[in-house]
Amino acid sequence: MKPVKKKKTEEPELEPLCCCEYIDRNGEKNHVAACLCDCQDLDEGCDRWITCKSLQPETCERIMDTISDRLRIPWLRGAKKVNISIIPPLVLLPVFLHVASWHFLLGVVVLTSLPVLALWYYYLTHRRKEQTLFFLSLGLFSLGYMYYVFLQEVVPKGRVGPVQLAVLTCGLFLILLALYRAKKNPGYLNPASSDRALSSSQLELLNRKGQEKMKGFPGTDTSGSLNNRTAKDDPRGSSRMPAGSPTKAKEDWCAKCQLVRPARAWHCRICGICVRRMDHHCVWINSCVGESNHQAFILALLIFLLTSVYGITLTLDTICRDRSIFTALFYCPGVYANYSSALSFTCVWYSVIITAGMAYIFLIQLINISYNVTEREVQQALRQKTGRRLLCGLIVDTGQYNRGFLRNWHQFSTLGTRAFHHPAEDIV
């Protein structure tokens, strides 16, 4: 007798979600209206807080995970999750600036505490290696809110002409355009499409052969791997490995991405992927700065600095007439007599603080480009105490890729447009 074929049980199709429904982190169907139901962790945390008992870190993390999972907005085919880190700047920045406009001393306290809080949050998220939209939200909302205050409080006073307003508006749109370009792919290395990716068996075979061939080779240790950096004055370590050597493959192998990285590529622990010629992970754009977006990042910084200084100049010329810009920043009598001028003056000082921070980043970037080093290479050189340090550590020259000022800038201007050929001695 022929065996009877069993019919395959068809899995029931999932019902489409309405605009207020979503699938929570437990895989269950939930509704936006039920966001305050079933909050055992939050209830436990409130009870311990009322009874003056300390909360365990695990409980706090569960509470934050629950809040971030249930904070959603209705959307087509299911409610969309809202990143909780974008909300504090939208609420706190206007409140702090309006409070700082009430009195001079309040302005000093608030404007001093804002950078401190931002740095504290940065080190908190940087230590945990977490992505956050806080700084991107703060930067974009600051641009929009400063422009709004300028239109509402400065332009009606009649000191700003149409041409000046048009120039400032164009600068704002150029900043957004450059930020959009800088947010694009910085040069991620795709393991699937990378022609340099190796399987684990191939890598193990290369390492085994390399250890047999490289025994006694200058600059290698007992395990067959190269030293991290060879001093220039050491004649025994003057020889370098060939680019395709097994030890080279071992050094540049990324276990997380499962590929062999090209020279100057690094793995970003925040993004979780390798980036070509990685400079650093920038929290202001919530992305890495690498080979493909480094030019757009520099352009965004330059346009921001020019637009910000121009807006500060127009505002101070309006609320503190007949005074130079530098004098008006520190001495503008009667500015707190009117709430409108006080708010404008507070926003000016907030813009000055942000502009000063961005100017420092821009200066460091210009120096690194001039010496053809990335911020990642600078940090590694400082940890390993290698390279030349100039101007109290402001300039760090590793000497490995430096080909002179003009050639360094020429190489930077061609990033992402063509494959740049590195000399043999540049291969790490």
- End position of a domain, from candidates 351, 371, 391: 371
- End position of a domain, from candidates 345, 371, 397: 371
d(CA 374, CA 186) in angstroms, rounded, equals: 14
d(CA 282, CA 301) in angstroms, rounded, equals: 12
Does a structural domain hold residue 366? Answer: yes
Question: Is a pLDDT exceeding 90 seen at residue 297?
Answer: yes
Does a structural domain hold residue 427? Answer: no
- Mean pLDDT value across residues 220-236: 35
Does a structural domain hold residue 262? Answer: no
**279 exposed, middle or buried (CB, 10 Å; 0-12, 13-18, 19+)?**
buried
Question: Is a pLDDT exceeding 50 seen at residue 230?
Answer: no
Residue 67 and residue 95 share a domain: no
Which tokens hold the place of 346? 């507070």
Pick the catalytic residue from 268, 271, 282, 288: 282
Q: What is the count of structural domains for the chain?
A: 2
The model's pLDDT over 50-92, given as tens digits with 9 standing for 90+, comes to: 777 776 666 776 777 777 777 787 877 777 777 788 888 999 9
pLDDT band (50, 70, 90) for residue 381? confident
282 is catalytic: yes
- End position of a domain, from candidates 51, 82, 113: 82
E-only strand ranges, 273-387 = 273-275, 280-282, 287-289
User: In the prediction, which pLDDT does 163 show?
Assistant: 95
Query: Which residues face 282 on adjacent strands?
Result: 287
Does a structural domain hold residue 360? Answer: yes
Residue 94 and residue 45 share a domain: no
Residue 90 and residue 176 share a domain: yes
Residue 318 and residue 179 share a domain: yes
pLDDT band (50, 70, 90) for residue 239? very low
Mean pLDDT lowest for which of 25-29, 44-48, 193-197? 193-197
Question: Residue 146 belongs to what domain range?
Answer: 86-185+292-371
Distant-in-sequence, close-in-space partners of 157: CB < 8 Å, separation ≥ 6: 318, 319
Does a structural domain hold residue 327? Answer: yes
Residue 313 and residue 177 share a domain: yes
Which of 201-210, 296-305, 377-386 is predicted most confidently? 296-305
- Mean pLDDT value across residues 173-193: 86
Residue 322 and residue 180 share a domain: yes
Does a structural domain hold residue 257? Answer: no
Measure Cα distances from 363 to 88, 304, 359 in Å. 29, 14, 6
Q: Name which residue leads in pLDDT, 127 or 7.
A: 127
pLDDT band (50, 70, 90) for residue 101? very high
Question: Is a pLDDT exceeding 90 seen at residue 96?
Answer: yes
Residue 135 and residue 56 share a domain: no
Does a structural domain hold residue 351? Answer: yes
Residue 66 and residue 94 share a domain: no
The model's pLDDT over 108-158, given as tens digits with 9 standing for 90+, comes to: 999 999 999 988 888 888 777 778 889 999 999 999 999 999 999 999 998
Q: Is 303 helix (H, G, I), strand (E, B) or coil?
A: helix
Burial 141-165 (b: 16+ CB within 10 A, else e): bbbebbbebbeebbbeeeebeeebe
What does the longest C-alpha to C-alpha distance in the chain come to?
106
Question: Is a pLDDT exceeding 70 seen at residue 204?
Answer: no
Does a structural domain hold residue 44? Answer: yes
Mean pLDDT lowest for which of 146-155, 169-178, 392-401? 392-401
Question: Is a pLDDT exceeding 90 seen at residue 11?
Answer: no
User: In the prediction, which pLDDT does 135 show?
Assistant: 92
Residue 44 and residue 106 share a domain: no
Residue 153 and residue 35 share a domain: no
E-only strand ranges, 261-411 = 266-268, 273-275, 280-282, 287-289, 388-390, 395-397
Residue 117 and residue 100 share a domain: yes
Residue 310 and residue 176 share a domain: yes
Closest by Cα among 86, 111, 87, 83 to 97: 111
